A and B are shown apart, each in its own frame.
Chain A
Amino acid sequence: MKSIKQMLIKEFLQIRRDRLMMPIILVAPIIQVILLGYAATVDVRNIGLAVCDMDNSPDSRALVTRFTNTGYFTVTGWAKEPDGVDEYLNASEAVIGIVIPRGFGRDISSGRTSTLQLIADGADANTANISLNYARQITVGYSQGLLVEQVRRLGGGRQVPQITPVTRVWYNPELRSANYMVPGVVALILMIITTTFTSASIVKEREIGTMEQLLVTPMKPSQLLLGKLLPYVLIGLVDVLLTLGVAVNWFDIPLKGSVITLFGLSGLFILTTLGLGLFVSTISHTQQQAMMTAQFFVFFPMIFLSGFTFPIENMPAAIQVITYLVPLRYFLEIIRGLFLKGVGMETLWPEALALLVFGVTILSLSVSRFQKRLA
């Protein structure tokens, strides 16, 4: 017990002495949450709209105003000819083009049908899909309103059948993607910080030769390892606290579930990330190799395959199977469930169990590799 304490003191002294370490451990996570919280959003707003209004009547202008009034669309170009709309789309200055034909106002007010063209830049499939949906909803709503009005005029206040959807969004009523993304960012940063520092700190001892010195001390390898890993568990938990603070106070994301459950399960997740860091350290000779390996062969696949931005349900079946091997996936489900839906252990226990199995497996595998390397 005493030697572990000595080891802990040494580790913390070392962390404190490196002038870049403290800022990276304490300040970088905060900056990262803020940056990622703002940037990592797939909200579709301020969609560029190119308008070709060949009618130029009060009705056609009213339709365009309807588009801009929703807040989703901003007119970025006026074209005289329909072909002009394509040019705005080619140059990526607009995502949606709208062509209002001549005679639009006359037709729609006299019970005839006028054909409206909506052109979407499909290159960005997601933005195109959402924008086109908005555009169609606005237009159909306008059309419906006109129809009802005409019928009323004809029949003297007669009622017509109409179905209106009353949409309510649960868990995230304003549909802020920050509510979904920021908890994910908290998980991501916890993983990056703990994995990188664990691997780098072990490889550093090896690189500068101090690992040998530690080995000749009366400490057992297991005590050495415990002393090396414990500080990063602590740092990980402090970072959870900091990033949670930013999520709740800066981004106003309500934490509906229990804070204690969140911390407990974060500790479970740290088991896995430490195991990964230790594993990376056993296959790297230099710090640079350790950083590169962690970045490109651990973080990249994890970010893409965990459901951090891209929904797992949309992946092909074979890849969905692979995602079950990504520990970040389970922690994301936990942290999002706690933040957005306020669920508790009764819903989250399968994920928690998966994390526990992962953590124990990866950690014991890495520990045995580490001890083999020492011997």
Chain B
Amino acid sequence: MNLAPIVRKEFRQISRDRRALGILVFLPGLLLVLVGYALNFDVKNLSVAVVDEDRSPESRHFVQSLTGSEYLVHKWSLDDRSGIDRLLEEGEAQVALVIPRGFAHAMIEGKSIQVQVIVDGANANTAAIAAGYVALGIQDYSSRVLAQWLERHGAHILVPIDIRPRLLFNPELKTAKYLVPGLFGLILMLSTVISTSLSVVREKELGTMEQLKTSPLKAYEIIIGKAVPYLGIALLAATLILVLGWLMFDVSVRGSLLVLYVAIFIFLLAGLGQGLVISSVAKNQQIAFFISVFSSLLPAFLLSGFVFPLSSMPMILQVIANILPTKYFLVIVRAVILKGVGIGPVWDQFLALSLFSAFAIGLSSIRLHRELSS
């Protein structure tokens, strides 16, 4: 095989286009910093506005124990409900709590009482979490009051269920730990699908493909020669993310590096195949760029489980996600990095990923072979 010359030519061409090189090398770092430092779903320090209509030691104790955490902070005390409107509208408070008159009486006499909780629902995600915190806090407080009350009245009944929550894999629940491995899909798609398709189409546009065809190189040598440099850059980018993720965000690989790199390699093949198929369809770079972004970058961002949970999407989008390779790849990457599992629990994901790769590479070889030998 006579690959060296074309690989060398391709590398020289890549290094000549400074901006493209900058994007391939600089972007993974930029994205990693953004994703690692800036992106966070944690909901903490929610400002609470309290309307205490009871003004009793009991109601004050209730408010204190509810807001004494890093999640809910008692920031405003209002005299009546009319002030809630403005605080929520301007985003000064996210939660409002109204404690009705008769609260202390109910606690002492053993009665049921309702406490009103108002949540700013504009951001549904934050609101769901906030409402959850408040509801749990109230239930918890209520249980304690009930237990004390029972003790005082001499009833020997214990709280029926004691919950022991256990968090696996990411006990501090850091968003970065989940997103950093997810970045692999996005960045590798970028350096394979988009770069490969553009580089091949450029040769076609400039007419240099004809020159390559008339060279003594065989069709498969041209294809492999064009693919190898991007494979190298992508592997470099992947390693870069791995090292930076470990240094900056403490994301270490719990499972086997070998399994991880095998998965990366199979995924890269899928990307290369997809890029080559696009290059055989597209007539100019602009179209190649649009098709690439739509078929790789967008799904890698939206339909891979990178940020948005797939299980909440409509059926049709889940079906599309199941056809594309990124979803499987991310499950493997996260399982190996965060959960430390081997091939065993994710063999089916490996199978699906490999099937897509084989299909993409096969289709692209057939199409390009036809084109190059014509």
Contacts and interface: CB of A to CB of B under 8 A. Distances in A.
Interface of A: 20, 35-36, 38-48, 86-87, 89-92, 107-108, 111-130, 132-134, 136-137, 139-144, 146-148, 150-151, 154-155, 158-173, 175-177, 179-180, 287-289, 291-293, 295-296, 300-301, 304-305, 309-311, 313-316, 319, 336, 340-341, 343, 347
A158 B150 CA distance: 11
Interface of B: 19-20, 23, 27, 30-31, 34-35, 37-45, 62, 88-90, 106-129, 131-136, 138-143, 145-146, 149-150, 155-171, 173-175, 177-178, 198, 285-287, 289, 293, 302-303, 307-309, 311-314, 317, 331, 334-335, 338-339, 341, 345-346
B331 A160 contact: no
6 contacts: A43-B309, A132-B167, A133-B129, A175-B128, A177-B124, A288-B285
B136 to A, nearest CB: 6
A48 B38 contact: no
A118 B163 contact: yes
B166 A319 contact: no
Given A170-B119, A304-B39, A41 B157 contact: no
B345 A161 contact: no
Contact of B177 (A44, A123, A158, A288): A123
Given A44-B128, A175-B121, A295-B293, A113 B158 contact: yes
B125 A172 contact: no
A140 B143 contact: yes
A116 B41 contact: no
Given A114-B161, A115-B161, A172-B124, 7 more contacts: A44-B309, A137-B132, A143-B159, A159-B111, A165-B135, A180-B123, A300-B30
A52 B314 CA distance: 29
B39 A310 contact: yes
A212 B125 CA distance: 53
B164 A117 contact: yes
B163 A120 contact: no
A136 B134 contact: no
Contacts of A43: 124-125, 128, 309, 312
A133 B339 CA distance: 22
Contact of B346 (A91, A123, A150): A91
A161 B173 contact: no
A52 to B, nearest CB: 13
Contacts of B161: 108, 113-116, 139-140, 142-143, 146
A300 B300 CA distance: 14
Nearest to B95: A167
Contacts of B302: 35-36, 39-40
A311 B131 contact: no
B47 to A, nearest CB: 10
A138 to B, nearest CB: 10
A114 to B, nearest CB: 6
Given A91-B345, A122-B170, A160-B146, A39 B136 contact: no
A159 to B, nearest CB: 5
Most B C-beta atoms less than 10 A away, residue of A122, A163, A309: A163
A216 B41 CA distance: 55
A126 B133 CA distance: 14
B129 A130 contact: yes
B139 A311 contact: no
B121 A86 contact: no
B41 A310 contact: yes
Max chain A Cβ within 10 angstroms of own Cβ: one of B38, B149, B308, B341: B38
A271 B137 CA distance: 47
B38 A111 contact: no
A28 B361 CA distance: 29
Interface centre among A122, A154, A315 (most CB of B within 10 A): A122
- Give the interface centre of B111, B142, B177, B302 by most chain A CB atoms within 10 Å: B142
A169 B202 CA distance: 54
B146 A114 contact: no
Residue with the greatest number of chain B CB neighbours at <10 A, chosen from A121, A141, A295, A310: A310
Contacts of A164: 112-115, 138, 142
The CB with the most chain A CB atoms within 10 A, among B107, B115, B311, is that of B311
A113 B162 contact: yes
A114 B162 contact: yes
Given A40-B302, A161-B110, A167-B135, A154 B155 contact: yes
A146 B160 contact: yes
Contact of B339 (A90, A113, A310, A347): A90
A172 B122 contact: yes
Given A90-B345, A287-B286, A143 B317 contact: no
Contacts of B132: 130, 133-134, 137
Given A125-B173, A168-B119, A139 B163 contact: yes
B309 A124 contact: yes
Contacts of B171: 122
